[in-house]
Structure 1
């Protein structure tokens, strides 16, 4: 064979290899995430970063929440509810297996629900299971759950990440080696770098289009921008560099989708620690914050002001921002009435997210205007969880609560706000026992008003979902009804 044909053949082979590699790449996806999860078991940790990797991908529950916030069947293919609203009978899918080959059946459901509500449970959302009275195995594919009283949120609650079904054989090792029933199985975790999941060939349901998904951990906003522009990351479902959004909106290679989340961003205050045990001090803090300046400065205009702990997109939302409107003169007056005419010194612990670090600087500057000197203490996410969330060792902090339908956190014992209100707790009990939509709306609005008046935290803004990804990527969520990167419908356009 002459040199020309050898060269042509080699070139053709190179093109073929290149095309094959390109096609293969279209079944893989690299996603950027800001926070590294402390572990990968959503039934044993409160960090939303856990669910952002494993929810609907690796683990599944009886029900699931979709991109619109609707409740859909998952491991339960159907269910019936008794006339009194207390007995739920779930019919399970057959021929379902966990990733280690263990068969899934009704015993796994009973184990998971009983484990979550046990006295020794470490489930981060234990109140979700408080309504359960008994869990009975009717047959291998049927489970009957009896509630203590009707609960209008029960099916929704069973769709949370904390309610996924796990197997007794692997439950204790799910933190480092998660084994679920989902369409993806866990592959590797390079700590500080990335987590890789791959398609589960034995999946019981509709197969996913992706062969592999890599969650690349990139906490730095500048690095996130560079990674997207270079193609090292093809999607950032929650992009952290708000100031760079216009750059990507002008670039046809990318799709920019600004949606909403369940993330109520608050300035948390330790209600049992002086001076924050004084209502007037907490009210003074709230009136010292200019939400527009905060949103413009920390979020580059992306975000919706809130005056209570409720998402503006919810039908029961009422605008209570006037209750804590920006009024530094009123703040000083309230501080004087509380016995702090010259202000006081305090600390502000800030976790890594941009909204917290940048927002904290703005808020600290505004607090100085009313005589409150807040020392900024940056902490890593694991430190925040240990010191603030678990240890309640803090004065003030900033965080977005991205769990869905989580108004009831203000009714929990020993929650990190240290807020106690019998009136609020009673309203939450009524909400949980009510199925009527109109009545629930009335109760939700009553609860919002109580929180706005009690000011257990300073309500700041609703966190936006700034999604940026390759224009050829389809199926990622526009909004964030729950903290998740559900990849079950994600694919590359032809």
Structure 2
């Protein structure tokens, strides 16, 4: 992994900042589950202990996959990432307690002193299930395709940072970035970790869509659309016959959160990965095991800044001021969530303690802005999109009720099936405002990819020179103090422009039967499928 930047002796102020960041890092690690694996707040990133060989686990998914290739699947989000890991394994993954990128099929990823040229080494003797080599050429092809506009890759914003790649030898790839990024290893672990067989995908794209070819611990053996995906043990898996631990994994679609909790509690299913703020408390009440990690951003309202009405920052600010995260937590989340007005969790080492917050809970000021817009012939009227689930419906009802209680504003709420919602918001960008869950382990790469004005995956249409500068500064270094300064500046810019409005701290949660073993929840919600099993 990348060494910390060396910038000579630190001055007194810099040393103080580093010490503060180190202290905050300790707090953050404890919150993620340090020491015995469980912090004082009950957060626990995984279930350790050896899993017995063999057997089947049933995992609940909130939705089916729209696509199984790494270009159209949501590779850095909890809904798709575990299934992608089953099929493709990972080059690198994020360690749940620290967010540090750790190697899997990748052996090392090291920068030159500038942070602009990186060298990737791949473990030897890894093959895809079509017996073609998992090598530097396969990684190069995949990353080049993420940049190809015709692919419409959902992680194109992460790949866009790459200027060129060169195959040095079969197991070595030289990566030249467009600009220095001391945290490119985080980008790979979060968004560029899943590599398909280029041979299989190019030879038969339609066939690949039904039977993907990867180098993962499992192969897709059955797919009943909108019902279940069945994965069976890969007999050619590169780690040998002892991995994966399970013989079979079944991912069953169950969109209703209450039904999912009851299914695990009664033994019909084994576990579910969830971004719900309330599932952890409900699962504990049912006697289930709970594994959990905090993430950046959490649940938020996102605005489409590229078109009316939210191309006017006053409209975005008015909505934010009209709503109260604490009241929303009480009404929509029955006080089981963690209210927020920031992109970052409380005590995050990535921002200073006094970093600006986004505006909220000032309905008098909200009404003034709404009246001002109406006087200009622009009364606020929009549709609020939410994904189709119980919790999102409650949140949407709160937002609609609170906003329609003011003058010169009219809001309608529309619920959509998650696959359709993702297509509308992330791909087609056919929305005005939407509920969105951002569950990522670090600013790099997803927050950069969503908010930087040059990013092809900036679906918010948001453009700000100040935000761009803060994001660019943050990716130039992995010095904790310098990153903290950059992302505090990011919060100052975002709080002024309000391209989104966070109201719940993010928590990725797995609730599971106590018989589950070998569970490790990576920070962005991926289960490492090679080690998951039963006691």
Q: TM-score range by the shorter chain?
A: 0.7 to 0.9
Q: How does 1:57-456 map to 2 (within 5 A)?
A: 57-68=86-97, 69-171=99-201, 172=205, 173-205=207-239, 207-238=243-274, 242=278, 245-246=281-282, 248-252=283-287, 254-262=288-296, 264-312=298-346, 314-317=348-351, 318=353, 323-339=358-374, 344-371=380-407, 372-404=409-441, 405=443, 406-408=446-448, 409-413=450-454, 415-456=458-499
Q: Which has the higher contact order (CA 8 A, sep 6+)?
A: 2
Which residue pairs with 1:29 in the alignment?
57
- What's the offset of the Cα at 1:121? 4.1
Asked if structure 2 preserves the Cα contact closer than 8 Å seen for 1:209 and 1:490, the reply is yes
1-side partners of 2:423 and 2:129: how far apart?
Answer: 31
Which sections of structure 1, spanning at least 5 residues, go unmatched?
1-22
1:24, distance to aligned residue in structure 2 (A):
9.9
Give a deviation string over 1:186-213, Cα, whole Å, max 9, x none.
2211111111112222211261211111
Deviation at 1:243, TM superposition (A): 7.0
**Contact between 1:288 and 1:326, CA under 8 Å: does it hold in 2?**
yes
Between the aligned partners of 1:488 and 1:84, the Cα distance in structure 2 is: 35
Counterpart contact for 2:289–2:512, Cα < 8 Å: yes
1:326-377 CA-partner distances (Å, limit 9, x unpaired): 1212211222233359964322122124442210101111112223221111
Partner of 1:203: helix, strand, or coil?
Answer: coil
Which residue of structure 2 aligns with residue 466 of structure 1?
Answer: 509
Instruction: Return the alpha-carbon distance in structure 2 between the equivalents of residues 315 and 241 of structure 1.
Output: 22
Question: What does the per-residue CA deviation read over 1:245-295, in whole Å, with 9 as the maximum and x for residues that have no partner?
Answer: 44x42444x213454234521112222333322222211110111212212
SS of 1:382's equivalent in the other structure is helix
TM-score, normalised via structure 2 length: 0.80
Residue 487 (structure 1) aligned with residue 529 (structure 2): yes
1:72-115 Cα distance to aligned partner (Å, 9 max, x none): 11222234432333332222211111122222222212222222
Distance 1:383 1:120, change over 3 A: closer
Structure 2: distance between partners of 1:182 and 1:323: 42
Name 2:3's counterpart in structure 1. Answer: none
What number of residue pairs does the alignment pair up? 468
Inter-CA distance 302–340: structure 2 relative to 1 (3 Å threshold): farther
How far apart, in 2, do the equivalents of 1:75 and 1:256 lie? 28
| In 2, Cα distance between equivalents of 1:437 and 1:266 | 26
Against the structure 1 CA distance between its residues 203 and 268, is the aligned structure 2 distance closer, same or farther, given a 3 Å change threshold?
A: same
Rounded to whole Å, the distance in 2 between the matches of 1:315 and 1:81 is: 23
Report the CA distance shift for 1:340/1:324 in structure 2 as closer, same or farther (over 3 A): farther
Task: State the 1:321 CA deviation.
Answer: 7.3
Question: Does structure 1 conserve the Cα–Cα contact (< 8 Å) formed by 2:356 and 2:488?
Answer: no
SS for the counterpart of 1:38 is coil
Match of 1:3 in 2: none
Q: Is the 8 A contact 1:240 1:354 kept in 2?
A: no
